[in-house]
Copies of this chain bind each other. A is one copy, B any other.
Amino acid sequence: MARAATTADAFNAVAEPRRREILDALTQGERPVNELVDLLGLAQPHVSRHLRVLREVGAVVVRDEGRQRLYRLNPQALKPIHDWVASYQHLWEERFDLLEDVLEDLKEEH
């Protein structure tokens, strides 16, 4: 078995930096493909394929407008990722709490 398809889930889709760039660009609002091509400095077919992947995992939705296709962000698709990492957040934040506790103790000793 090879590596999971990039379209397998949001985790795989978003592992590609260019696709994150596309999503980042779409936070500003709906955009046609050509605008993304300019923004990313990638070849058009390449952008189209990245968009396909993002569409397949539900991270973006398309809308036809004349001969353009407007892509829009669908942020919900990223929620599973957020939920997963969020469960680790307290683990790296604990260090600060510990530090604070120590500082608190030091202050009280004064």
Binding site for B on A (CB under 8 A): 3-4, 6, 11-12, 14-17, 20, 23, 27, 73, 75-76, 78-79, 81-82, 84-89, 91-92, 95
Contacts and interface: CB of A to CB of B under 8 A. Distances in A.
Contacts of A73: 91
A89 B85 contact: no
Work out how many copies of this chain go into the complex.
2
A20 B92 CA distance: 16
Closest 4 CB pairs of A and B: A75-B91, A75-B92, A15-B15, A82-B85
A81 B4 CA distance: 19
Given A15-B15, A86-B82, A27 B76 contact: no
A107 to B, nearest CB: 24
